[in-house]
Chains A and B, each alone.
Chain A
């Protein structure tokens, strides 16, 4: 009996370093060094049990409205087909030279551009060849478990099957390597609260040209 109790304690101690808690879902915040929430960060599960990694083909949309990609950050799971409808009357020429996905949708208007398959995890920087300030990021993550933070930095990952997970936090301007943000959790029965801390670099995007001269 003592042997069994000791074994359980030893096993529990062995698991503790890997799991902050046991939970049915994971929620929390992504904050900066000053404690303020960071919007548009993506928290995602990098490694999951086989049962939680299963996924069906997904689709997503990145619009072009008023010479702006909407949303600016779009997380998708590997294998997602993304559509790029152009809601502007002017033509856009969407492209990416990123190593994760290299593609282009030559000059077009409307919603007829073919979808683009994102089949490799990583970061895909999207641009418009006509309007060089238009940019967006598609974050292709390996599992269907991801969430984007709101204006206060809150996120919630719901519906995680029980198991061990590695969670990462990513932001377009993050100074930290994404791998360095990893936190391991074990999801079992109750909610889990996590906090990620990131420090952001200055926005280096190209200033926009939204005036009527550039109604093109």
Chain B
């Protein structure tokens, strides 16, 4: 390296140090707020699912990680997996606007390491915590889940979400506009009303009809495509009829003790367009906190997914109830799932009935670390399935690092 190059690199290094070095603060100076922030979540797993290959490998397995297909038939396998790498970026913009975007890398679902854009929105709020309203626009998910309340929209009570919330987070990604109003009186309940409309849900329902219900923690994005049992993949964002899905989400109650949540979505799909589904779902849920360290969550969802061609009209129903106890960094959760699909038109068989029990233990320590273990036992009768055994079970261990 020449003396001139050395001098240039030295100068660049000094400049870099000057840029990166924190400003010297006097004793009573407040550290400046960084208007741009970055967060990340890395989830590494050791998994041993059921013998059937997972639906993420176009197999009949109902959990996110399954077995493999050999000459002797299906076989259980234990393996390491990248559960999730989520990158969240945010910025405080002028006029009190907040922008945030989230990318997720989930190679087992995406079949590659391409990041899926889960969220990209701009939000503005007026008012205060007890009385105000907000508007956001951009790419967003549905607000219906009572479980996806952890960092980077991960399930809070377990590693895998219930069947109904797994589906909502797998198959719905909307681009549109959402408004919200909330109010809390001095002693009355808190009321929150969300109303939104968004494009991209023209094939909502196809995954349930083709694959049935499943339990997992995958999160789709606007550029996501999911595997189907026939070996093809379906795009999550699909807009053909140019009619936005509309939805509303009502929250009523005192978060400290109990809250009732009601949601309704109609994708207003025009079946006159080839491949467009008309799907409507209604959901009701409740969170109860009778004891400081115990959470009860129940949620019920019912809906219809109709499509002109191929004949896959289905009605769907999902329910779960969970109890979760936490103490310091420890959390233990037991959840029961019940799920059904009824074939409405006698065409391609879509019927399914099943239930599942999930046991999860999570331990969080420090700002950044969490380990977890989860066991799922699942029973599904689905005549269209390539797997004759209705019972499946599997476990997974997770280490999560959050930056």
Q: Do A211 and B180 touch (CB < 8 A)?
A: yes
User: Is there a chain A Cβ closer than 8 Å to B37's Cβ?
Assistant: yes
Q: Do B182 and A168 touch (CB < 8 A)?
A: no
The closest CB in chain B to the CB of A204 belongs to B33
For residue A116, give the distance in angstroms from its CB to the closest CB of chain B: 15
Binding site for B on A (CB under 8 A): 65-68, 87-91, 93, 95, 98-99, 104, 106-110, 121-123, 125, 129-130, 132-133, 135, 137, 139, 168, 170, 172-173, 177-179, 204-213, 215-216
User: Is there a chain A Cβ closer than 8 Å to B223's Cβ?
Assistant: no
Provide the residues of chain A in CB contact with B97, threshold 8 Å. 207
Binding stretch for chain A, among B202-210, B269-277, B360-368: B360-368
Binding stretch for chain A, among B126-134, B161-169, B345-353: B126-134
Provide the residues of chain A in CB contact with B132, threshold 8 Å. 210
For residue A143, give the distance in angstroms from its CB to the closest CB of chain B: 14
For residue A200, give the distance in angstroms from its CB to the closest CB of chain B: 12
Binding stretch for chain A, among B6-14, B53-61, B149-157, B225-233: B149-157
For residue A172, give the distance in angstroms from its CB to the closest CB of chain B: 5
Q: Do B257 and A89 touch (CB < 8 A)?
A: yes
Q: Pick the residue among A95, A107, A206 that contacts B33 (CB under 8 A).
A: A206
A sample of 16 more A-B contacts (CB under 8 A), given A89-B289, A110-B292, A129-B367, is A90-B255, A95-B367, A109-B326, A122-B27, A123-B28, A178-B29, A206-B35, A209-B125, A210-B129, A211-B123, A211-B125, A211-B143, A212-B182, A212-B251, A213-B194, A216-B149
* A132-B37 contact in complex given A106-B328, A106-B365, A209-B98, C-beta closer than 8 Å: yes
* A177-B256 contact in complex given A207-B92, A210-B125, C-beta closer than 8 Å: no
Give the CA-CA distance A88 to B295 in the complex, in Å: 13
Q: Do B26 and A206 touch (CB < 8 A)?
A: no
Within 8 A of A (CB), among B90-125: 90, 92, 96-98, 123-125
For residue B329, give the distance in angstroms from its CB to the closest CB of chain A: 6
Give the CA-CA distance A65 to B182 in the complex, in Å: 15
Provide the residues of chain B in CB contact with A135, threshold 8 Å. 33
